[in-house]
Structure 1
Amino acid sequence: MARVWEADPAALFTRRLGKTAEELGNTEDETGCPDIWELDNGDIAVIGRDLTAEYADRLPPDARISRGERLVVIPGNTLRAAKPDIADV
């Protein structure tokens, strides 16, 4: 059965949403930086720590991680800093 939404691996990075990890104090160098990006097709790419295995047995009853998906954790200030760049519509 086909999924209603499928990620497009050909989509390109368009713009960062929010501030860099360095600006937010979430990194001391250029490696391992949590980030949020808008792609040219309107989808959002999130760079964070893969904690799929750690959270798999603790998901809320209505949350699921499908094959090919990962649970990614980012600092709260990364998402809050992106809020002004995210349209309300």
Structure 2
Amino acid sequence: MIRGWEADPSSPLARRLGKSPEELGTTGGESGCPDIWELENGDIAVIGRDLTDSYRTDLPDGLKIAPDERLVVIPRRTAVAAKADTPDA
């Protein structure tokens, strides 16, 4: 399959975008925390709940999830907190 973009698994995590899960109150302890990180290559990594199977059968037209992709949901406050750290272009 030819794609216009491919994830680079060798690019390390560089910095958190927004506030930590502890600051936002979205952590349940050590078992997982929604978060957004910028990689050294500029790509973005998102940690959230995998709801791919829940959404796969009811996707809007034009939205597709490849077999090696996952639909991840994060709290709104996590995304909003990252806005100030996210470049406009």
TMscore range, shorter length: over 0.9
* Superposition RMSD in Å: 0.9
CA drift of 1:27 comes to 1.4
Q: Secondary structure at the match of 1:62?
A: coil
Q: Secondary structure at the match of 1:78?
A: helix
Identity of aligned residues (%): 62
CA drift of 1:29 comes to 1.1
Instruction: Give me the whole-angstrom Cα distance separating, in 1, the residues matched to 2:73 and 2:28.
Output: 18
- Normalising by structure 1, we get a TM-score of 0.95
Query: What residue number does 1:8 align with?
Result: 8
Unaligned runs of 5+ in 1: none
- Normalising by structure 2, we get a TM-score of 0.95
CA drift of 1:31 comes to 2.1
Q: Secondary structure at the match of 2:67?
A: coil
Unaligned runs of 5+ in 2: none
CA drift of 1:14 comes to 0.2
Q: Secondary structure at the match of 2:57?
A: helix
TM alignment of 1:29-68, pairs within 5 A: 29-68=29-68
